[in-house]
């Protein structure tokens, strides 16, 4: 049990230092990565004629971009 705990603690402290590290990507970069992951998913999930898939993709992407810009403005807000 003790061994297991220390392994967990080690992983935890690594994660914490990663989160606090100033070299960490900005929130913007992270969000963009997540968005691209999401649109890749939708690409794989829709097995439909290509034109339909493209339209669906566009819709998903714009929704994501909207969310992204909202989040970005929240991050940048001086409050």
Residue 20, domain member (yes or no): no
Residue 6 domain flag: no
Closest by CA position to 69, among listed 43, 38, 35, 39: 35
Distance (Å, rounded) from C-alpha 11 to C-alpha 4? 11
- Residue 33 is assigned to a structural domain of this protein: yes
The tens digit of pLDDT for each residue in 29-61 reads: 655 555 555 555 444 554 555 555 555 555 555
Give me the helices (H) in the chain, please: 2-20, 27-45, 50-76
The verdict on residue 12 lying in a domain is: no
pTM for the predicted model, two decimal places: 0.17
Q: What was the pLDDT predicted at 41?
A: 47
- Residue 13 located in a structural domain: no
Number of domains present in the structure of the chain: 1
Helix axes 50-76, 27-45, angle to 10 degrees: 160
């Amino acid at each position: 049990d003790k061994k297991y705990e220390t392994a967990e603690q080690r992983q935890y402290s690594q994660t914490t230092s990663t989160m606090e590290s100033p070299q960490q990507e900005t929130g913007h970069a992270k969000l963009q990565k997540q968005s691209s992951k999401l649109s890749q998913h939708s690409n794989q999930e829709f097995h439909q004629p290509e034109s339909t898939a493209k339209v669906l993709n566009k819709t998903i992407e714009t929704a994501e971009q909207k969310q992204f810009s909202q989040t970005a403005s929240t991050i940048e807000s001086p409050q």
